[in-house]
Chains A and B, each alone.
Chain A
Amino acid sequence: MSDQTGSNGASGHFAVSLGDFRTELAFEVDAGRILVLFGPSGAGKTTALRTIAGLVRPDAGRIDIAGRTVYEDGNGAGARPVWVEPHRRGVGYVTQQNHLFPHLTVSQNIAYGLRDRRGDPARQRVAELLERLRLDGLADRRVWQLSGGQQQRAALARALAPRPDLLLLDEPFAALDMELRRELGSELRATVRQFDVPVILVTHSREEALALGDEVQIIDGGVTVASGPPLTALEQPGRGRVARLVGVENLLEMRVTARLPQDGTMVCAAAERQLETPLADGCAVGDTVTVGIRASDIILATGPLPESSARNTWAGVVSAVTLRPPGYEVTLDCDGVPLRCHITGTSMEAMGIGPGLPLWAIFKASSCFLLSE
Chain B
Amino acid sequence: MIPRFLLGTGRADGVRHQASLGALAPAGVAATVVYVLFIGLPIVALLARAGQQEGFLAGLTGELVMQALRLTVITSMVSMVVVVVVGTPFALLLARRRSTVLRVIDTFVELPIVLPPVVAGVAMLMAFGRNGLLGPALGGLGVTLPFTTAAVIFAQVFVAAPFYIRAARIGFAGVDPTYEEVSQTLGVSPWATFWRLTLPVAWPSLLTGLTLAWARAVSEFGATIMFAGNLTGRTQTMPLAIMTAMESSLGSALALSVLLLAMSVLALAALSVLLRRTGSTA
- Which residues of A are in contact with B by a Cβ distance under 8 Å? 50, 53-55, 85-93, 95, 97, 99, 101-103, 112-113, 158-159, 161-162, 168
Cβ-Cβ contact count across A and B, 8 Å cutoff: 62
Q: Is B52 an interface residue (CB 8 A)?
A: no
Residue of A nearest to B175 (CB): A102
Q: Is B77 an interface residue (CB 8 A)?
A: no
Whether the pair B178, A87 counts as a contact (CB closer than 8 A) is: no
**Cα distance A101–B202 in the bound complex, in angstroms:** 12
Whether the pair A87, B282 counts as a contact (CB closer than 8 A) is: no
**Cα distance A86–B178 in the bound complex, in angstroms:** 13
**Cα distance A311–B95 in the bound complex, in angstroms:** 65
Interface of A is mostly: loop
Which residues from chain A contact B182 at a C-beta distance below 8 Å? 93, 95, 99
Whether the pair A86, B184 counts as a contact (CB closer than 8 A) is: yes
Which residues from chain B contact A91 at a C-beta distance below 8 Å? 185
**Cα distance A53–B181 in the bound complex, in angstroms:** 9
**B135-193 interface with A by 8 A CB criterion:** 176, 178-179, 181-190, 193
**Cα distance A40–B176 in the bound complex, in angstroms:** 24
Whether the pair A53, B185 counts as a contact (CB closer than 8 A) is: yes
Beyond A55-B181, A86-B181, A93-B181, whether A103 also contacts B186 by CB under 8 A is no
Q: Is B200 an interface residue (CB 8 A)?
A: yes
Whether the pair B282, A102 counts as a contact (CB closer than 8 A) is: yes
Beyond A95-B178, A102-B282, A103-B282, whether A89 also contacts B201 by CB under 8 A is no
Whether the pair A112, B183 counts as a contact (CB closer than 8 A) is: yes
**Cα distance A103–B187 in the bound complex, in angstroms:** 19
Known: A93-B181, A161-B186. 5 other contacts (CB 8 A): A50-B181, A86-B184, A87-B184, A102-B201, A112-B188
A-B contact pairs, 24 of them (CB 8 A): A53-B185, A54-B184, A54-B185, A55-B184, A87-B185, A87-B189, A87-B190, A90-B187, A92-B186, A93-B181, A93-B182, A95-B178, A99-B178, A99-B182, A101-B179, A101-B197, A101-B201, A102-B201, A102-B282, A103-B201, A103-B281, A112-B183, A113-B187, A158-B186
Which residues from chain B contact A85 at a C-beta distance below 8 Å? 184, 189
Whether the pair A89, B178 counts as a contact (CB closer than 8 A) is: no
Whether the pair A103, B200 counts as a contact (CB closer than 8 A) is: yes
Whether the pair B185, A99 counts as a contact (CB closer than 8 A) is: no
Interface residues on B, range: 20 to 34
A54, A102, A162: the one within 8 Å of B186 (CB):
A162
Which residues from chain B contact A95 at a C-beta distance below 8 Å? 178, 182
Whether the pair A89, B185 counts as a contact (CB closer than 8 A) is: yes
Nearest CB of chain A from residue B188's CB, rounded to whole Å: 6
- Which residues of B are in contact with A by a Cβ distance under 8 Å? 176, 178-179, 181-190, 193, 196-197, 200-201, 281-282
Residue of A nearest to B281 (CB): A103
B185, B189, B190, B282: the one within 8 Å of A93 (CB):
B185
Which residues from chain A contact B281 at a C-beta distance below 8 Å? 103
Which residues from chain A contact B201 at a C-beta distance below 8 Å? 101-103
Nearest CB of chain B from residue A321's CB, rounded to whole Å: 40
**Cα distance A89–B185 in the bound complex, in angstroms:** 7
Interface centre among A54, A88, A90, A113 (most CB of B within 10 A): A113
Which residues from chain A contact B200 at a C-beta distance below 8 Å? 103
Whether the pair B176, A86 counts as a contact (CB closer than 8 A) is: no
Which residues from chain A contact B186 at a C-beta distance below 8 Å? 87, 92, 112-113, 158-159, 161-162
**Cα distance A198–B62 in the bound complex, in angstroms:** 75
Residue of B nearest to A89 (CB): B185
Residue of B nearest to A161 (CB): B186
**Cα distance A115–B186 in the bound complex, in angstroms:** 10
**Cα distance A88–B188 in the bound complex, in angstroms:** 8
Which residues from chain B contact A88 at a C-beta distance below 8 Å? 187
Nearest CB of chain A from residue B133's CB, rounded to whole Å: 43
Nearest CB of chain B from residue A151's CB, rounded to whole Å: 13
**Cα distance A50–B188 in the bound complex, in angstroms:** 17
Residue of B nearest to A115 (CB): B187
Residue of A nearest to B192 (CB): A87
Nearest CB of chain B from residue A40's CB, rounded to whole Å: 21
Nearest CB of chain B from residue A247's CB, rounded to whole Å: 29
**Cα distance A278–B184 in the bound complex, in angstroms:** 52
Nearest CB of chain A from residue B92's CB, rounded to whole Å: 17
Interface centre among B184, B187, B189 (most CB of A within 10 A): B187
Interface centre among B186, B188, B201 (most CB of A within 10 A): B186
Which residues from chain A contact B184 at a C-beta distance below 8 Å? 54-55, 85-87
**Cα distance A162–B188 in the bound complex, in angstroms:** 11
Residue of A nearest to B203 (CB): A103
**Cα distance A73–B201 in the bound complex, in angstroms:** 37
Which residues from chain B contact A97 at a C-beta distance below 8 Å? 178
Whether the pair A92, B185 counts as a contact (CB closer than 8 A) is: yes
Whether the pair B176, A87 counts as a contact (CB closer than 8 A) is: no
**Cα distance A101–B200 in the bound complex, in angstroms:** 10
Beyond A53-B185, A86-B184, A89-B185, whether A99 also contacts B179 by CB under 8 A is yes
**Cα distance A162–B184 in the bound complex, in angstroms:** 12
Interface centre among B182, B183, B190, B197 (most CB of A within 10 A): B182
**Cα distance A179–B183 in the bound complex, in angstroms:** 30
Which residues from chain A contact B181 at a C-beta distance below 8 Å? 50, 53, 55, 86, 93
Which residues from chain A contact B282 at a C-beta distance below 8 Å? 102-103
Nearest CB of chain A from residue B202's CB, rounded to whole Å: 10
**Cα distance A83–B197 in the bound complex, in angstroms:** 25
Whether the pair A99, B176 counts as a contact (CB closer than 8 A) is: yes
Residue of B nearest to A56 (CB): B181
Which residues from chain B contact A112 at a C-beta distance below 8 Å? 183, 186, 188, 196
Which residues from chain B contact A54 at a C-beta distance below 8 Å? 184-185
**Cα distance A93–B125 in the bound complex, in angstroms:** 54
